[in-house]
Structure 1
Amino acid sequence: MRARSLAAATGSFAVAALTLAAVPAQAAGADAAQLSVLHGVPGLTVDVWVNGERTLDDFTPGTLAGPLDLPAGTYTVAITAADAADASSPAIGPVDLALEAGGNYTAAAHLDTAGEPTATLFTNDTSPTAAGQGRLTVRHVAAAPAVDVLAGGQPVISNLTNPNEQTLDLPAGTVAASVVAAGTTEPVLLGPADVPVTEGTNTIVYAWGSATASPSTLALATQVVDGLHSAPSGVQAGQLGLVDDTRTQPWLLGAGAFAVLAAAVLAVTRRTSAATVTGDR
């Protein structure tokens, strides 16, 4: 697994816009890439423009969308304030971005450790898992210092920093996980949450939001990438934290329409911390 930081503010939401690019309905296939998007910047609603056309209106925080099959190519994207008349005065961009064929990606628009908007493009691990095992990936995309992930009160992932990830292959089952400041066990900053680890899937958990906001906006989002015993494909599992509603939203994609299902899958108890830690239409 690799994570590539897209450091400039110009790119902070441009990567996310790729999911909304106008693409032909026949894009699926060996030459297509799969891309999902997490909007993990609290309090910021935007419009996304692709090749001069508004493709997403009022994209809200906490939304996890995709996956979409996109053909390889370059997309010109721009981000404006919500309900802008056109893309002539973008807040971010326009930027030309290339998309490679055959990959499975998640673009996370989020806050960096200092609380500034940024984006990270993650490559989802779709390598086969052993029989009876599933994969658990934890990604730190919150404005917060390093964290540990506890299972059964013991750290199973240690010193995870923004914008990095750690991955475990585990026997299929349920992991009761909590997020705490690195080197501690209390207070619990996120969780405890029961995370299902399913055979042949990669369950990806994101810690997003801000630990320094008052009140804290820390939250969890989940994604499941299926098909790790065969050809990989991704499905959205849901999102949690501050966003606790289940809804289906349409996405206008040029010639065709895709339906994206967002379903809540975890019950998260969030606790506010003093100064630590660490989705569509």
Structure 2
Amino acid sequence: MKIPRIAAVAALSLAPLAAGALPAHAASEATVSILHAVPGATVDVYANGKALLTNFKPGTLTNPLMLPAGSYNLKVTAAGAGPSGKAIMQANGVSVPGGANVTVVAHLDASGTPELTPYVNDTSMVPAGKARITVRHDAAAPAVDVRAGRTPVFKNLTNPNQATGVVPAGTVRADVVLAGTSKVAIGPADLTLKEGMNTIVYAWGSAKDNKLQLAVQTIGGMHSAPGGIPAGEGGQAQAGADLARDAAVGGAAALGAGAVLLFRRRAVPTR
């Protein structure tokens, strides 16, 4: 059964609506970022009939925005089509909750149909010297394994699910392979995992068109007080080994849960 989604560019930057003065860190606000991960589609985004983003290009990740909580009618059209243009994706009555940190991804589902998926970002504290890594499958591609140092650490990840783990801060050489194989689909790439940060890696694009890419988002502010152990830089081998260990505990649960949904409202692509 298909997981319901918020078609949410979750108030895709209601920047014009949020331009007025708002109290810092107000409980009535949410932190929202938007990633455009639909290949070849430059789009405009509307909320309640007002243009929020224009000429939004694939591969673009917006800066975090503090948005007022509320309910919005959202519509994504081809760039220049105007507010009455044909919707590529749309959803009405989309709620944006106060206090959450959310990334909304416009991407292709496994079959290549555009959709929007919201993820609630984990901003909980990590131990001193540690970092969090999150991997999200948002590509038109089959199940994949994510490897660190050629060792699978997140296995059988499917669109639009995610997996996460806490590891020593340092550098990990990672790649993405087709599940159960050694056939590389994306990478390898060196990921610098900084202490107290959540490094979020998105696999996006289309396997059929041989256009699979990575996008990276980082969220900081998760430092814990030192416990007498220096953070260090941990080598690739150690970071990879610990990632494999911790993924078996925390990552497996996240993988099973899949994308974290804010509300159970289906995003219906307009065909």
Q: TM-score range by the shorter chain?
A: 0.7 to 0.9
Q: Give the stretch that moved more between structures: 66-75 or 17-26.
A: 17-26
Pairwise CA distance, 1:23: 0.9
CA contact (8 A) 2:10 2:96 kept: no
1:6 aligns with 2:14: no
Letter in 2 for 1:218: L
Alignment partner, residue 63 of structure 2: 66
Report Cα offsets for 1:32-81 as digits up to 9, x if no partner.
11111111111111111223222221111111112101111112322222
Select which of 120, 123, 132 maps to 2:120: 123
Q: Which amino acid aligns with 2:131?
A: G
Q: Contact 2:11–2:96 at 8 Å: present in 1 too?
A: no
Corresponding position of 2:149 = 152
1:81-125 deviations in whole A, cap 9, x for unaligned? 2112x3124414362311101111100111111111111110100
| TM, length-normalised to structure 2 | 0.76
**Residues 219, 5 of structure 1: CA spacing in aligned structure 2 closer, same or farther, 3 A cutoff?**
farther
Q: Is the CA contact (8 Å cut-off) linking 1:16 and 1:108 kept in structure 2?
A: no
In the TM superposition, residue 172 of structure 1 has moved relative to its aligned partner by 0.5
CA distance in 2, matches of 1:94, 1:150: 36
The equivalent residue for 1:199 is: 195
CA contact (8 A) 2:13 2:53 kept: no
CA distance in 2, matches of 1:83, 1:176: 41
Q: TM-score scaled by structure 1?
A: 0.73
User: Residue in 1 aligned with 2:217?
Assistant: 223
Report the Cα distance in structure 2 between the residues aligned to 1:218 and 1:154, rounded to whole angstroms: 21
Distance 2:188 2:35 in 1: 22
Q: Secondary structure at the match of 1:130?
A: coil
Tell me, yes or no, if the aligned pair for 2:132 and 2:199 is still in contact at 8 Å: yes
Residue 36 of structure 2 is aligned to residue 39 of structure 1: yes
Structure whose alpha-carbon radius of gyration is higher: 2
Structure 1: how far apart are the matches of 2:168 and 2:36? 30
Distance 2:141 2:90 in 1: 27
Residue among 175, 179, 184 paired with 1:188? 184
1:259 maps to what in 2?
none
- Corresponding residue to 1:169 among 157, 166, 169: 166
Partner residue in 1 for 2:262: none
User: What's the counterpart of residue 208 of structure 2?
Assistant: 212
Candidates 108, 115, 119, aligned match of 2:105:
108
Matched residue pairs, number?
218
Q: Which is strand-richer, 1 or 2?
A: 1
Unaligned runs of 5+ in 2: 225-271
Judge conservation of contact 2:10–2:94 (CA < 8 Å) in 1. no
Q: Deviation of residue 194 (structure 1)?
A: 0.5
Matched to 2:53, the amino acid is: L
Structure 1 stretch displaced more, 203-212 or 90-99:
90-99
CA RMSD of aligned residues (A): 1.8
CA distance in 2, matches of 1:229, 1:26: 30
